[in-house]
Structure 1
Amino acid sequence: MNKITKGAIAGGIGVALLLGGAGTLAYWNDQAAIGSNATITAGTLTVQQAASPAPAWTVSNGTVTNAVVSNIASFRAVPGDVLRYTATYTITGTGDNLRATAGLGNGAIAAATPVTAQNTALADRLGASATVLINGSTTWTMPSPGTHTVTVTATITWPFAGDPTTEDNPAKTGAVTLSNFNLTVQQVQP
């Protein structure tokens, strides 16, 4: 067989395969609805701080126990201070299979601007200790969709321990911002 004949046969087989892969040629067709024109609506997940009871900052240090801090912006922290923020939050979740957890947001304590060595040192010292308890537990999982009221206690501890020359003295006159000090709720797999 010559090359032209072999090429024509191969070309014919290729055309047949292409036509066969495209399906059969049908002139009649029909369709039926999937889902009977149903509507799907998304759920939601929100968190809001309650106005009552009023949120409060307290401080403990040695013999001082839970003294109320009326204005955290004017409070001057020292090593040994344990600052606590207590507030009530409402977490609302709608969605048939919704499950969520709550906790302290990332980057909760950051160096204030302008960023200085003192601000960074204080942020490092306080940020390492930031914790949150939700209804007295370090972990909280929304038990079911709906509205849930939780008591949140966020704690920032300036340890009275370690090497003051390398850990505490560099933080003198430092300032931190709590703009990212947030309670974060996040959906998790059910």
Structure 2
Amino acid sequence: MDTTLKGALAAGAAAVLLVGGAGTLAFWSDSETVTGTGISSGELKLGTPVCGAWQLNGAGAFTTQLIVPGDQLTRTCTVDLIAAGENLEADLALTSPDLGTSNGLVDELDASAEFTVDGAVVTSVTEADDGGPTVTDEIGVEVTVDLDFTDATNASQDLTATLAALTLSLTQSDATP
């Protein structure tokens, strides 16, 4: 092996030992600890809806009447909302309406909901609605199930649907400042 090559390898090994852990070469260093803190999470939830009876075309209680195209069933409810946390925003919706086993009538029914806070229609709520990190409101909900006159077909005649489960949802949306 060439003497020059041996010398270069020896110098490289010495440099590795000096820098890499032999402890003979020192660099200045320091460290400080950033103090921690306790954190708590907020919450986002709906209470149990309190609802009145189903109404047919706004004219009285729906019991066993047969519906026809153009009819509208409505139900008015209230539900408590708790939204606690800075920069919290959530969307309100009616999701997963369960109207029974699919058939011509079920396929032609349209379920929707309108949400109100203090009489104003809303689609979402934010912590800023009450000027603080916690919103505690009573949300008004009007659930509507329509058999639309212009969209109805003969396929929806003499059938049954069940207003089994109309789910209200509150889903956090991105309100990053």
Q: Offset at 1:149?
A: 1.2
Q: Offset at 1:78?
A: 3.0
Q: Which residue of 2 aligns with 1:116?
A: none
Q: Is the 8 A contact 1:121 1:174 kept in 2?
A: no
Q: Which residue of 2 aligns with 1:66?
A: 59
Letter in 1 for 2:125: T
CA RMSD of aligned residues (A): 3.7
Structure 2: runs of 5+ lacking an equivalent: none
DSSP 3-state at the match of 2:54: strand
**Aligned with 2:52 (options 55, 58, 66):** 55
Bigger fraction of residues in strand = 2
Bigger fraction of residues in helix = 1
Q: Offset at 1:91?
A: 0.7
Q: Percent sequence identity over matched residues?
A: 23
> For residues 36-185 of structure 1, what are the structure 2 equivalents within 5 Å?
38-49=37-48, 51=50, 54-60=51-57, 65-69=58-62, 76-105=66-95, 107-112=96-101, 119-126=102-109, 129-135=110-116, 137=121, 139-142=123-126, 143-144=129-130, 145-162=134-151, 164-165=153-154, 167-169=155-157, 172-179=158-165, 181-185=166-170
CA separation of 1:164 and 1:123: change in aligned 2, threshold 3 A: closer
CA distance in 2, matches of 1:139, 1:47: 14
Q: Is the 8 A contact 1:111 1:176 kept in 2?
A: yes
Q: Offset at 1:174?
A: 3.1
Structure 1: runs of 5+ lacking an equivalent: 113-118
CA distance in 1, matches of 2:107, 2:45: 30
Aligned residues: 159
CA distance in 2, matches of 1:158, 1:25: 82
Letter in 1 for 2:112: T
Letter in 1 for 2:42: G
